[in-house]
Amino acid sequence: MKPVKTRLAAPGPVEVPPAVLQAMARPPLHHRSDAFATQLVEARSVLADLAAVPGGDVAILSGNGTTAFEAAFLATVPRGARVVAAHAGKFGARWATLARTHGHPVVDVTAPWGAALAPDAIADAVAEAGASGEPVGAVTLVHSETSTGVLHDVAAQAAAVRAVAPHARIVVDAVTSFGVSELRPEAWGLDAVVAGSQKGVLLPPGLGFVWLSDRVRAAPPEPARSVALDVHGELDAQKAGRTRTTPAVGLVAGLAAARPALLAEGVEALWARRARLGAALLAAGEAAGLTAFAERPSPAVAALRVPEGTSAPDVVAAFARRGVRIAGGQDDAKPFLIRPSLLGFADAYDALGLAGTLEAVLREVGLDVPYGAASAAAAEVLEGA
Ligand SMILES: *Cc1c(COP(=O)(O)O)cnc(C)c1O
């Protein structure tokens, strides 16, 4: 049957709540107006609550997750410092490239795609690098590695790094864990945390978010390393209810309006809801004969390997014919991985719809999946059976 609407079921961009769309459809406010200042304060309070940093200070930048990571890195890491980049997926590898692009010597700590990076492996690399030359100035980590579906244990990784290199700055890509999985920047001893609007924050693409630790705020790299991406300057301005340069005012209005959809019951309830939706999707995939790819699955995305002889791009295309946009695998994982996601404005109804669509799609590509297999598994998780 031909679909009459299209749905985003990929790990960004995501389905956006109607209240957010309405807020963004209003005529833009002037960014120096009092009305905008009020919206900025509200938008920043949504971010502080999502970051689980009460009264916290998260900078709103215009751009995307990559912009925000670059800004966070330049606001945190001194020029020329040695960097250890821990990566087991596409996004983590991007941060190694970013550090090299800015002229930093980089040591890579890697694991195969799908694996969770062991905290000890990262700490050993940091200790070894520190013993053989300049101390390590920064470590880049990825919390939810969207390319592989792995939720890395950033709390344990950061603790292991701190034990061997207490001064190294810890810069964390939380683009698909922010507002999705438990994330406690202060308690975990992180120095910079990065997120983006089109993932767990229920907005379209166009904003990036950066939280910095007190020690980074107290000792920014001198002189500043960027003008457009000066997070310290931006935090100073935003605390006072303004931005340094013209922000994406429509998206800020959307963010201010996103509170009820995200935080009606508080951030811990949000994490629990996301965990349940993620688990339901993974259970649906496994019940349909697919294999979980991630050693430690992220609730942001269900990375599922299709059986030998089945083409993952064919599965993605069969979803698209039904009006549903899921993600496929990236790079080497393209032939065998699918990555459906309920990261956006989604609830149990969407999970059941996706599970049922998965059954139809897998049957279409020739797999022997009984109708109801994936939906039943999802329902059991959702209903707490
Ligand atoms: C999407 C994503 C990014 C990049 O975000 P852009 O907004 O595309 O720049 C970085 N890291 C992770 C883990 C992501 O999922």
All domains of the chain, ordered by start, with CATH? 7-13+266-384 (3.90.1150.10), 18-257 (3.40.640.10)
pLDDT one-digit tens code per residue, 138-190:
999 999 999 999 999 999 999 999 999 999 999 999 999 999 999 999 999 99
* Distance in angstroms (rounded) separating the CA atoms of residues 231 and 61: 8
366 Cα to the center of ligand 1, angstroms: 33
Burial of 337: CB neighbours in 10 Å, binned 0-12, 13-18, 19+: buried
| Nearest CA, atom 15, ligand 1 | 146
Please, what is the end-to-end C-alpha distance for the chain in angstroms? Answer: 32
Our mutation pick for probing the ligand 1 site, out of 87, 143, 146, 152, counting the most ligand atoms within 8 A of Cβ, is: 146
Greater model confidence, 131 or 18:
18
pLDDT tens, position by position, 7-62: 999 999 999 999 999 999 999 999 999 999 999 999 999 999 999 887 778 999 99
Return the pLDDT at 211.
97
- Tens digits of residue pLDDT in 286-307: 999 999 999 999 999 999 999 9
> Which pLDDT does position 56 carry in this prediction?
78
Q: Any idea what DSSP says for residue 77?
A: S
* Nearest ligand 1 atom to alpha carbon 198: 7
Predicted model pTM: 0.98
Please count the other Cβ atoms lying within 10 Å of the Cβ belonging to residue 349.
9
| CA 55 to ligand 1 centroid distance, Å | 26
In this predicted structure, the answer to whether residue 385 has a pLDDT above a threshold of 80 is no
Q: Tens digits of per-residue pLDDT, 317-367?
A: 999 999 999 999 999 999 999 999 999 999 999 999 999 999 999 999 999
Q: For ligand 1, which residues put their CB under 6 angstroms from it?
A: 11-12, 64-66, 91, 142, 144-146, 173, 175-176, 196, 199
Cα pseudo-dihedral 362, 350, 180, 301, rounded to 10? 10
Q: What length does the chain have?
A: 385
pLDDT at 384 over 90: no
Whole-angstrom Cα distance, residue 91 to residue 81? 21
